[in-house]
Amino acid sequence: MRTSLIEIERIDQWLLNQDAPASHLLMDARLVLDPVLRSNVRDQKTSHDLIRRYGRQKLINEIRKVEHHLFTADQHRSFRDKVKSIFNF
Amino acid sequence: METIEQTKTLSREQQITDWYKEVFPKVCGFVKKRGSDLEDARELFQEALVLYYEKHVTTGFLPEKVEAAYIMGIVKKLWLRKCSSENRMSSIEGIELVTAEENSVPLTQKLIKFLERTGSKCMDLLQSFYYEGLSMKEMSVRFGYCSERSVTVQKYKCLEKVRDEVKQRALGYEDFID
């Protein structure tokens, strides 16, 4: 793995608390001294947040797709009738 | 109804279908009794499924009793929150009350453009780890990599692409909130 990816891996382990205590402390110290590393950590954290947001949207889309299928496909007629009867449609 | 753990081999789509068939009619009955409609039932149920899914993924939580009863419990809490929010809105005339949660619109136009540039294949791979919490082994099977090491390297390459884009645009998380 190239050097830049190794750095990304180390930052990820630090952000996710998956590194050894000694490595974690070393990273804490490097963050105090190295502004470039600090900036990379901040950007990587933002990337994590974005990816999770993307994942959530993907799940919501999947839920809506299933719902659409349940409310339109022939094989789910009994489910639809059950829901309709609740609201007296 | 099977739990998330029991159905790990089943698709997420099948799991969602099972939840709909077992729990959604109960949600409809719940909101109907309180004078509400199908649209409210849909919104509450979708939000409850997302919350339940994320709780399971982030904490490994599984309900002690029946999964359906737990999801129904979330729906009831969301209903109470919705009612109290509506009461607040109507009691303070002219003041718009928006909670932080309500302010977090799922995906902004800016984010969608960003993701298009990054590539959906990379984003799908990354979200399977950071959102779905899959292991490297599970990821290698899903995305057809020959080893866990290969998918690990690809994951970091994709993360680098996203991070570079974030850096280039000097984006902060707040830039993705409407």
Inspect the interface and report whether the beta carbons of A60 and B160 lie closer than 8 Å.
no
Of B102-106, B107-111, B117-121, the poorest mean pLDDT is in B102-106
Q: What is the ipTM of this complex?
A: 0.88
Structure tokens at B48: 């409850």
Of B157 and B111, the one with more pLDDT: B157
Q: In which band, very low, low, confident or very high, does the pLDDT at B95 lie, cut at 50, 70 and 90?
A: very low
Compare all CA atoms of chain A with the CA of B116 and give the residue at the minimum distance: A54
Which of the residues A7, A18, A36, A43 would you substitute to probe the B interface, choosing the one with the greatest number of B C-beta atoms within 10 Å? A43
Comparing A31-45, A52-66, B49-63, B96-110, the range with the smallest average pLDDT is B96-110
pLDDT at res. B169: 74
Separation in Å, CA of B94 to nearest CA in chain A: 32
Mean pLDDT to the nearest integer, B59-72: 81
Total Cβ atoms within 10 A of residue B34: 9
Residues of chain A whose beta carbon is less than 8 angstroms from a beta carbon of chain B are: 1, 4-5, 8-9, 12, 39-40, 43-44, 46-60, 62-67, 69-70, 79, 82-83, 86-87
Contacts of A44 in chain B (CB under 8 A): 159, 163
For B174, which DSSP code?
A: G
Determine the Cα–Cα distance for residues B25 and B17; give it in Å rounded to an integer: 12
**Average pLDDT of every residue of chain B:** 80
- pLDDT greater than 70 at residue B5: no
Substitution target from B31, B130, B157 for chain A, most A beta carbons within 10 A: B130
What is the b/e burial string over A18-49, where b = at least 16 CB atoms within 10 angstroms of the residue's CB? ebeeeeeeebeeeeeeeeebeebbebbbbbbe
pLDDT digit string, tens, across residues B114-130: 766 668 889 999 999 99
Best A1, A11, A46, A47 residue to mutate vs chain B (most B CBs within 10 Å): A47
Count of beta carbons in the 10 Å neighbourhood of residue B100: 7
